[in-house]
Structure 1
């Protein structure tokens, strides 16, 4: 068994319905065996139903930046646009404002705050019920949040500086020989084997649409600050302004 094919550390199953702990216990991401297979198939089915995410991301981004001169791409575009576009494709309203706090509390090592729990409650209401279908839809949005933002931020930074693009997600957790360990995703940013991310094509489509819409902008500073996380490599802030010199996006 390769390290990426190993089971994930289990999460508690006896949890309050509708809580962050319930979400963890109800998605494929933190499941093993038949539960993982069933929940993954549900997520794949949802992704198979969506339309042209690239064009939708392009259109939404252009609509936002039309009235902007200088702005932070990470705050204004990289997170809300992909999540909003994917939510609409999954039959939900734009719930991006609620997905972000849930994403920040999603992983088992994080203790959720009241804000994250309240945001999840609103997401469940938008989905109509606290069931596996709702968990699958919310899980897809949560997992698209930082990963796709990283693709956008790293891709834009690389294009405008000529530096190599960084991989946004650096590792994942697996249980190997009874021990929970961090497994590197170097060379396999979307995983591999039976647990490979089913949304890689969708994430790249979203990122491509956003990046096309950001042509004609340049960085306000060559250097940037990076997210303080051992598992994420992406800009924390990426300020751009309209390029009046004509250099635009490389």
Structure 2
């Protein structure tokens, strides 16, 4: 993946991801996220936004825009195992194997596709969950991703993203506009729902600040 590369390898691999996103219209993503969320919540009185919507909807919509089937069921466990504090298990490895097959095999282009989906998963879910909480309390949303990783001289290092939610410079997130559009579509579709929790549980990850569970109900 580009983020774990340096020099010309980074430039080449990042360009693959940038080119993939360049063909994706952000407004269309927002519309699709809105429509998919509306379908999911139709007829439901209570839903866990984080598990049922915030992860699978953005990933499914983005996968479709990239010409792939809905691979959210495999992206979610891979994304969960992607964080630096987690040791990948057999289920995540199996999910990654399936993703490789769907995305074109062990190539740099397949890695770019998977990277976009995996990195969009929790980050966009955090935008959605924190956005709902912010609306409830009438204050700005918290930044969901607090740190990221880079590989330097063969070792992974943690880089703080404090104050720069999408990074900056030559390694800034190439999909920031797409992520915001996906989150906006979901949040718009959840208009008319209200949070039920008074105590929020948070994802136990040092690099994330996002709700673990977020139940909403109509009315």
TM-score, scaled to structure 1: 0.82
Distance 2:154 2:58 in 1: 37
Secondary structure of the residue that 1:235 maps to in structure 2? coil
Alignment of 1:112-191 (within 5 A): 112-174=88-150, 181-191=157-167
In 2, distance between residues paired with 1:189 and 1:157? 17
Aligned CA distance change for structure 1 residues 175 and 114 (closer, same or farther; 3 Å): closer
1:124 offset after TM fit, Å?
1.4
From the superposition, tell whether residues 103 and 72 of structure 1 become closer, same or farther in structure 2 (CA, over 3 Å). Answer: same
Matches within 5 A, 1:83-102: 83-102=59-78
Equivalent residue, structure 2, for 1:5: none
The structure-2 alpha-carbon separation of the partners of 1:230 and 1:242, relative to structure 1 and needing over 3 Å to count, comes to same
- Which residue of the partner structure matches residue 44 of structure 2? 68
Structure 1 contact 161–222 (Cα < 8 Å) conserved: no
SS at match of 2:217: strand
The residue aligned with 1:20 is none
Question: How many Å apart are 1:184 and its aligned residue?
Answer: 2.0
Q: Give 1:50's aligned residue.
A: 24
Distance, in Å, in 1 between the alignment partners of 2:80 and 2:180 is 22
Q: Distance in 2 between matches of 1:176 and 1:123?
A: 27
Q: Deviations over 1:173-212 (max 9, x none)?
A: 3578998653321110110000000000000000000000
Residues paired across the two proteins, number: 217
Structure 2 SS opposite 1:111:
coil
In structure 2, stretches of 5+ residues that fail to align are: none
Secondary structure of 1:225's counterpart equals: coil
CA distance in 2 between partners of 1:70 and 1:40 (Å): 40
The residue number in structure 2 matching 1:196 is 172
Q: Note the residue ranges of structure 1 that are not aligned, 5 or more in a row.
A: 1-26, 244-250
Secondary structure in 2 aligned to 1:182?
strand
Q: CA RMSD in A?
A: 1.9
Over 4 Å off, 4+ runs: 174-181
| Residue equivalent to 1:225 | 201
Mark the CA change 1:191 to 1:128 in structure 2 (over 3 Å): closer, same or farther: same
Aligned to 1:10: none
